[in-house]
Amino acid sequence: MDEYFERRKRMVERLKDELKISEKVAKAMLEVPRHLFVPPHMRREAYNDYPLPIGYGQTISAPHMVAIMCDLLDLKEGERVLEVGTGSGYHAAVVSRIVGEEGLVVTVERIPELAETAKKIYESLCYDNIKVVVGDGSVGYEELAPYDKIYVTASAPKIPVKLLAQLKNGGRMVIPVGDFVQHLYVVDKDEYGRVKKRSWGAVRFVPLIGEEGFED
């Protein structure tokens, strides 16, 4: 049991106590070494519950937000999931542990350097069910659509039409929407393709840049 495992264990216990996160999310977050996904000089802060800068104007989300989004998605083993905004790579790593080896996480990142760093970490951890794509995540990744679940780690001006089109009937999307005032939305598509959305609450994310996002 190294120092980082003990810190990670305490982080997960806090999230279980304070947020009542599900056992499957808690188990995944206990497994994933978050300290490997932050800059080396910040590793001692990796298990504190706040965002950290990762360069290029981006951040790694606070652990509580990763946990909340994973639980809102209601992830299941074997699902195909699209992540928009790889960032540090941590969030997709947690999702990959929940969907398991029969599942797949496709994560799209517009900044090549971040995508390459995340890919190397996944390879070192043998997380083989994650596919990293460099591109405009606001339009999704049609090659492997449709997806059971989609989540976005940056705030969009509105719910992107192209992402909705890549969501399966019966699927769910979790996405922050807004500029100065942002809300996290849970978007469900029923078996007939009808869409319903509800707001979980106020949040703060970096802006989604791209064709269906904000201008760079």
Q: Which residues are identified as catalytic?
A: 61
The angle, 0 to 180 degrees and rounded to 10, between the axes of the packed helices 63-73 and 23-31 is 130
Say how far residue 70 (Cα) sits from the centre of its chain.
8
Phi and psi torsions of 10, nearest 5°: -65, -40
**Token output for 136:** 């405009």
Distance CA 98, CA 71 (A): 11
Distances (CA, A) of 21 to 25, 66, 100, 184, 201: 7, 11, 19, 17, 17
Q: For residue 107, give the nearest of 121, 211, 184 by alpha carbon.
A: 121
